[in-house]
Each structure stands twice: as C-alpha cells, then as structure tokens.
Structure 1
Amino acid sequence: MRLISRLRYFANGVAIDEFDAATQTFLSVQDNIQRILNSRRGGLAHLPDYGLGDLSRIYRHLPASAHTLKNEIETTLLRYEPRLKAIDLTIEETEPGMLLSFTMSCHLHRLGLVQFGTHFAPDGQTRLKLLKADRERE
C-alpha cells in the first residue's frame, strides 16, 4: 500500500479528499511549515539544523529579536520545505494572547502564492492560519 493512500487527514483533522489537488498542496505545505516551526534545532540527530533555535532567547529580547527570528525562519523553511521558491515575512501587530505575529507569504514552485498568519504562543507552539491561496495562471 502506498504511503499517500494511508494518509487520509491533514494535521488539523480535515479529510484530504475534501479538497482539490492545488488546495491539498497548500494545506500540505501549511502542515509541514507548522511541523518545522514547532521543532527545535538539535532535536533530530540526522538533521541537526532542522527546526528553530531556542525561542526563549528570542522571546526574552523582543521586540529587538523579531528580525533575528524572521531571518531564521526564512533560512530554515527554504532549506526544509522544497515546494517553496521564496518566502516573505512581515512582522505584524501581535495578536491577543500571542508573543509575536507574522504574515508569511510563501511563493511555491509551479503553484502560486499562499499566505499564513503565523503566531508564536506563550506555550512554545507556533500556529499557522491560512489567509490566502492564489494559484498561478497557466
């Protein structure tokens, strides 16, 4: 049995077959980005630079450290999410209950643009919300 046939749901519990192929890709990218941003560097022996560094150091020095985190996110995602060809992060006004918020614009190879609201929570987790998905015109 192929792996893809075993995968029936996205990380948020929504069934994969509820969406067309392009939307499946956008949501799959969202799942992978969220997984990467919620991983910490050094957590995988075979990929020591996978994930983000110690966020407590970033949080301690906010707002000055927001640009450091922004650069770290861009570098890490471009390395570990192969469907991305470019990424733009804009620091936003922090949402209530969060420590830091970004709008993440991801330019995908051959598919288009997807934007996520990206929020760093006090519990150490990063949450992504799909804001916009634009398919490239063929």
Structure 2
Amino acid sequence: MAGRGLLSRIEAGMGSADRALDVSESIVEHLRVLLNTRKGGAATVPGFGIVDFTELVHTFPMAIQTLQSAIRATVLEFEPRVRNVSVRHVPDADPLVLRFEITAQPADRGARGMLRFRTQMSPGGKVEVW
C-alpha cells in the first residue's frame, strides 16, 4: 500500500453502500448550497444558483414551470455527479410553500438506480433539501 494515498486507503475500506451513501449526502449538501444561491450571487461564477423565486410570485402559476426549468438546468450545469435530471412540482396544502422532487441517475457509469431529492421553498426564501 506504499503508493496509495490516505483517501484511497480509506475508500478501499468502505463498502460500496457506504460510498453511495456518502456521495448521496454530498450531493444533497451541494444542492442545498446551489439552490440557496441566487444567480449573480457568486461573483466568481455568475451563473451559479437559481433565479430569485420571490420575483416570480407575480407570475404564478407560470412561476412553477419557470422554477422547475431553472432548477433542472442549474443542477445539470453545476452538479456533475448526476445525469438525466427531472424536476417535478409537488403540490402542498400551504400555498406559501413550494415543493419540488428532483430525480436523477448517478453519473458514475458503475452506479445503479435513481437518486431522489425533495426540496421545499419556504416564504422566507430558504430552500431545504433532503
């Protein structure tokens, strides 16, 4: 093992289920950052983030379609660990809460299955991802 780095040795000791869980958790954390950043909010990467959905409230119900498209495009552009991304609006009893479900396939050719993430956009503008 002399030629292998510490991270390689740690990863070798992990099972594939552990690695998949770690990758999934890492993607969730990245989606939290990505979806809570507004376009233009990251000086070094102006396209990073999504449109400010508080500005879209006046265009309801078209705002839902706009957000779906924006979330999908942003995830495809800035989360390289997923592909075949789909975003679906999930109606909520509270009209002030927007929920979306994001499904995607892992980009790693050896990975199988689908990843499913749920988001909730609260009236204060915060996006939760789980």
Give the TM interval when normalised to the shorter protein.
0.7 to 0.9
What corresponds to 1:32 in structure 2?
A: 30
Q: The residue matched to 1:65 in structure 2 has which SS? A: helix
- Equivalent position of 2:44 in the other structure: 46
Alignment identity in percent?
25
1:88 corresponding residue in structure 2: 86
Give the AA of the match of 1:117.
Answer: R
Structure 1 unaligned blocks of 5 or more: 5-18, 130-138
Please say if residues 92 and 101 of structure 1, whose CA atoms lie closer than 8 Å, have aligned partners that are also in contact. yes
Query: Once the two structures are superposed, what CA deviation does each residue of 1:19-54 show, in whole Å capped at 9, x if it has no partner?
Result: 811100011111101110000111122200100122
Looking at structure 1, the residues matched to 22 and 94 of structure 2 have their Cα atoms a distance apart, in angstroms, of: 30
Alpha-carbon separation, structure 2, partners of 1:65 and 1:97: 13
Larger radius of gyration: 2
Q: Which runs of 5+ in 2 are unaligned?
A: 8-16
- Asked whether the equivalents of residues 89 and 103 of structure 1 are also in contact (C-alpha less than 8 Å), the reply is yes
RMSD over aligned CA atoms reads 2.0
Q: Is the 8 A contact 1:95 1:101 kept in 2?
A: no
TM-score (normalised: structure 1):
0.73
- Match in the other structure for 1:65: 63
Task: Note the alpha carbon deviations across 1:41-88, whole angstroms, 9 max, x for none.
Answer: 111222001001221122332222100111111111111101011211
Deviation, 1:124, is 0.6
Other structure's SS at 1:41 match: coil
What SS does the corresponding residue of 2:83 show, helix, strand or coil? strand
Q: CA deviation at 1:102?
A: 1.2
Paired residue total = 113
Give 1:98 deviation, angstroms: 4.8
Moved over 3 A (4+): 95-98
CA 1:43–1:32 in 2, change beyond 3 Å: closer, same or farther?
same
Q: 1:12 matched to which residue of 2?
A: none
More strand by share: 1
**How high is the TM-score relative to the length of structure 2?**
0.78
